[in-house]
Amino acid sequence: MSRRDQIKMSEAEVQAFLEEQRTMSIATIGRDGRPHVIAMWYAFLDGVPSFWTFAKSQKVVNLRRDPRVTCMVEAGDTYDQLRGVELVAHAEIVEDVAQVQRFGVEEFERYQNMKVTEALMPQVMRMANKRVVVKIHTERVVSWDHRKLGGTY
């Protein structure tokens, strides 16, 4: 078995890792062909990794031109602890207000670790006004978990 195969995560491990982590690096393709990389919070909309952002943001402009996107989530401070998931994907821009608001609730609850109450709902709705949701439809997953090597490499 190759080292690559030894460190690969299972589907369940990938899902658990994505649910555990909080920041995703997102690479889109700029007009001049250069990567545009930005770190974003993310959550799941209909089970799909997603993020929200301003409708006029550079990443959305890029994705309207070319929906290809590559995302990476990583963790670990030392080589033997490195873990990560790369999602090679295409993006779906969701502009439907109800879905954007629903995502806002999902993200708020994920990052604030509390339920959105009726009193908090206006705040989430205000944030949703100028935003879109970008759903990451994964075509290929690359994963690594160096902890599986037991400290050897």
Summarize pLDDT for 14-66 with one digit per residue, the tens.
999 999 999 999 999 999 999 999 999 999 999 999 999 999 999 999 999 99
Q: Where are the domains of the chain?
A: 3-97+131-147
CA 65, CA 133: separation in Å to the nearest integer?
A: 16
Q: What angle do CA 130, 92, 15 make, to 5 degrees?
A: 105
pTM reported for the whole predicted model: 0.92
8 Å CB contact between 87 and 17: no
**3-class DSSP state for residue 137?**
strand
| CATH architecture of structural domain 3-97+131-147 | Roll (2.30)
